[in-house]
Structures are given as structure tokens and as C-alpha cells.
Amino acid sequence: MGWLRNLFKKTDSVDTEKIHEQIQEDIRSNTYVDKRGFIKENCEIIAESSRQIDEAKIEYQAVTSYLNDMQKIDLIPKEQRESLEEAARNIINLNNERKRYQNRKHNITDIQYRLFERDEMQIPKELTSIREAESYQTSIDEDIRHLEHEKQSLLEQEDDIKGKQSFLRGIAIATCAIIIVLFIIFALLSGKSGSNMTLPFLLTVLMGMASTLYIFMEARKNAHDIKMVQIMLNKVIVLSNKVTIKSVNNRNYLDYIYSKYMVDNYEQFKSRWEEYVKLKDENKRYQNNTELLEFYNEILIRELKRFHIADADIWIYQPSAIIDRKEMVEVRHRLNVRRQKLRERMEANQKQKDEAIKAITSFIIAHPQRKEEVFRILNEHHIPLDILK
């Protein structure tokens, strides 16, 4: 039965008399197997067409009322339009200002805005503290690097002194070995040749004593130096630990503030705060804008009602048409096009409805024994019986 609905939807391009004749022929030739389905199909078409017609009538009346209001506005004398046009101009300016506020892009997130709003009184102090903490952190990092450099230098000195001590031990061993060898040589020469080796012995002893004194003095000096280096190294390590603790505490404070306000550093925090201050000011101006807009909307509606405009509220959404004749002409044209389309829509639906009624009437004529059944189906679809011709 779906073809029947499509058939009625094309009434603008198909001869309706031929459709009616075809329906009657189908009924007479008993081509409709499901006669009850045929009646229900047409009842649905009637119900849907009626609904479409009612909706279109309501909208048609609204558009007509709108056009009548436009005519009344055009007829308002120029000397009585001053308050009306002033209100319309103010509404246009305020709406443009609202669009600028709404289209502005901000880096600050809604969550950050709420955080700044909550801690608004203490954030200036927090900014100062963060700037000082970041500067202090830079100083601490420099101290840590300096102490680390000093520590490495002292460790190198310690290694150098230990190297000297090893070198002295080597000299001592070599000296001892040389003295012993000389003593053996002198003893052998004295035994074989009977020469007096007293002087060489004395010179060798003096050389050994001089070497021992030098090694002793240098070893003592190295022991003192390594002790001083170790003392200085311990001081550097203690200082480094203290500075590291300060760095950890200061870094923890900075990380807490960064996390609290969802920023990465002082510069970003400062930037977000300045943006918050501007945005808060914009919000105040936006609120004032809203209040002014409501004020001028009321004036516009009041002025329009003074001239018996039926749908005064509509004009707050297109105030430019009140002060711009070209805009009013364009609006009127669009409304006339809408009204024409509504007429065409009502006519098309009325044709569908009429064809469906004709189809049911023809069915009753062809099958009078099923008249009661047809009436029952009409009642089920809340269709009055008096529509049948």
C-alpha cells in the first residue's frame, strides 16, 4: 500500500482526475487484496495531511502577524521613533560588544580561573615569594656547582699528594739500596787493596743522612697537606649537604605552588594572573552589558507595544531592521517567501487529503456492505465521518 502514499505526495505533477479514476477502477476490479489496509492507509494520509495543514496554518498566521507588525513599524511617524531607534541602536552595539567578549581566546583555563578566584587575595604575595624562591634556587644551584667543583679540586689535590708520598717511598728504597751497594763495594775494595775507605764511607753516610732528612721533611709536609685537604674536603661536603637540603626544601615549595596553580614557572604564573585580572574585568563589563541589554530590550518592547505591535519580543533579535530600511525590506521579502511556501504546503496537503477522502468514498460506493467497517476504522483514527462526500 506504500505506493498509494507516494502517489498522493506527487499530486502537483500528476492529473488528480486520472488518479481518482485509477483508484475506482482498482476497486471495481477488486485488485486490492487487503481492503482494510487500503482504508487504514488512506486514514493515515488524511490524519497526517490534517496535522500538516494545522501546523502550516499556525505558522502562516504567525508570519502574517509579523508582516502586519512590520507595516505598523513603517507607519510610525518619524518624530515618534526617536526612543525606539535609540533603543535599537544600543541593542546592536551591546550585542556586538558581547560577541567580541565571547570570541576572545584566553590561555587561562576554567579550573585556573576558579583557583585564582579562590586565592585572589594571597596570589600577589605568592607571586613575590615564587620570584624570590626561583632567584634563590638559581643562587643555590650556582653554589652547588661551585662546591662540586671545589670538591673535585680537593680530591685531585689529595690524589696528587698521595702520588708524592708514593714517589718519596720509591726514593727512600732506592737510596737505601744504593748506600748498601756502596758499603759492600767499599768493604770489598778495602779488603783486597788495603786502601783507606774511611772518607767514602763518611760521604756515603752523609749522603744517606741528607736523603733521609729530605725524605722525612717532604713526607711530613705531605702528611700535613693531606690532613689539611681532608679537613677542607669535609667542610665542602658538609656545606654541600646543607646547600642540597636547602635546594630540596626550596624546590619542594616551588613544585607545590606550581602544582597548586597549574603553572610551570613564575613567568607563566604572572602571565596567567594578569590574564585572570583582565578576564575578571571583562566579566564585570559583560555583566554590565547584560544588564544594559535587558534595560534597552525592555525599552524597545515597551515602545513597540505603545504602537500596538503584536509580537514585540521578536524585534529584540533583529533591531537592525528597525533603523535600516534595506534590512526591513530583506526581512519582509524573506517572510513573503516563507508565506508563499506555507500556502503551497497547505495546498499540497489539502490535495492529498481530498484524494484520500475520494478513495475512501469510492471504496464505500463499491463495497456498501463494508460501510460500517470503514466507519469504525475512521473512528479509530479520530477522523469525523462528515468529511466523506
Report which listed range, 48-52, 98-102, 155-159, is most confident. Answer: 48-52
267 occurs within a structural domain: no
Check pLDDT > 60 for residue 86. Answer: yes
Could you tell me if 72 and 125 lie in one domain? no
Check pLDDT > 50 for residue 30. Answer: no
Could you tell me if 134 and 193 lie in one domain? yes
Q: What is the pLDDT of residue 389?
A: 59
204: confidence class by pLDDT, cuts 50, 70, 90: confident
Contact, 88 vs 287, CB < 8 A? no
137: confidence class by pLDDT, cuts 50, 70, 90: very high
Regarding predicted confidence, which is higher, 273 or 4?
Answer: 273
Check pLDDT > 90 for residue 5. Answer: no
Q: What is the pLDDT of residue 167?
A: 76
Could you tell me if 120 and 200 lie in one domain? yes
172 occurs within a structural domain: yes
179: confidence class by pLDDT, cuts 50, 70, 90: confident
Mean pLDDT score, 205-213: 77
Check pLDDT > 60 for residue 230. Answer: yes
Could you tell me if 72 and 124 lie in one domain? no
User: Of 213, 238, 261, which closes a domain?
Assistant: 261
Could you tell me if 256 and 370 lie in one domain? no
Mean pLDDT score, 361-381: 86
Could you tell me if 141 and 47 lie in one domain? no
Q: For 317-354, write each residue's pLDDT tens digit.
A: 889 988 888 989 999 999 999 999 999 999 999 999 99
Contact, 34 vs 1, CB < 8 A? yes
Q: What is the pLDDT of residue 92?
A: 92
Count of structural domains, the chain: 2
Q: What is the pLDDT of residue 245?
A: 92
48 occurs within a structural domain: yes
Check pLDDT > 60 for residue 97. Answer: yes
Could you tell me if 247 and 195 lie in one domain? yes
Could you tell me if 135 and 221 lie in one domain? yes
CATH number of residue 229's parent domain = 1.10.287.950
194: confidence class by pLDDT, cuts 50, 70, 90: low
Mean pLDDT score, 23-51: 72
User: Of 238, 261, 284, which closes a domain?
Assistant: 261
Q: For 50-72, write each residue's pLDDT tens digit.
A: 999 999 999 999 999 999 999 99
Mean pLDDT score, 162-187: 77
Domain that holds residue 65: 2-76+325-387
- Mean pLDDT (the chain) is 82
Check pLDDT > 80 for residue 280. Answer: yes
Could you tell me if 155 and 253 lie in one domain? yes
Span of 46-55, 181-190, 226-235, 366-375 with lowest mean pLDDT: 181-190
Check pLDDT > 80 for residue 261. Answer: yes
Span of 50-59, 97-106, 206-215, 256-265 with lowest mean pLDDT: 206-215
318 occurs within a structural domain: no
Could you tell me if 55 and 140 lie in one domain? no
User: Of 261, 280, 315, which closes a domain?
Assistant: 261
Q: What is the pLDDT of residue 196?
A: 66
Q: What is the pLDDT of residue 32?
A: 45
Please state the three-class secondary structure of the chain as a single string: CHHHHHHHHCCCCCCHHHHHHHHHHHHHCCCCCCHHHHHHHHHHHHHHHHHHHHHHHHHHHHHHHHHHHHHHHHCCCHHHCHHHHHHHHHHHHHHHHHHHHHHCCCCCCHHHHHHHHHCCCCHHHHHHHHHHHHHHHHHHHHHHHHHHHHHHHHHHHHHHHHHHHHHHHHHHHHHHHHHHHHHHHHHHHHHHHCCCCHHHHHHHHHHHHHHHHHHHHHHHHHHHHHHHHHHHHHHHHHHHHHHHHHHHHHHHHHHHHHHHHCCCCHHHHHHHHHHHHHHHHHHHHHHHHHHHHHHHHHHHHHHHHHCCCCCHHHHHHCCHHHHCHHHHHHHHHHHHHHHHHHHHHHHHHHHHHHHHHHHHHHHHHHCHHHHHHHHHHHHHCCCCHHHCC
316 occurs within a structural domain: no
What percent of the chain clears pLDDT 70, i.e. is strictly above it?
Answer: 89
294 occurs within a structural domain: no
The pTM for the full model equals 0.57
65 occurs within a structural domain: yes
**With the C-alpha atoms ordered 149, 150, 154, 155, is the resulting torsion angle positive or negative?**
negative
383: confidence class by pLDDT, cuts 50, 70, 90: confident
Could you tell me if 127 and 181 lie in one domain? yes
233: confidence class by pLDDT, cuts 50, 70, 90: confident
Could you tell me if 151 and 250 lie in one domain? yes
32 occurs within a structural domain: yes
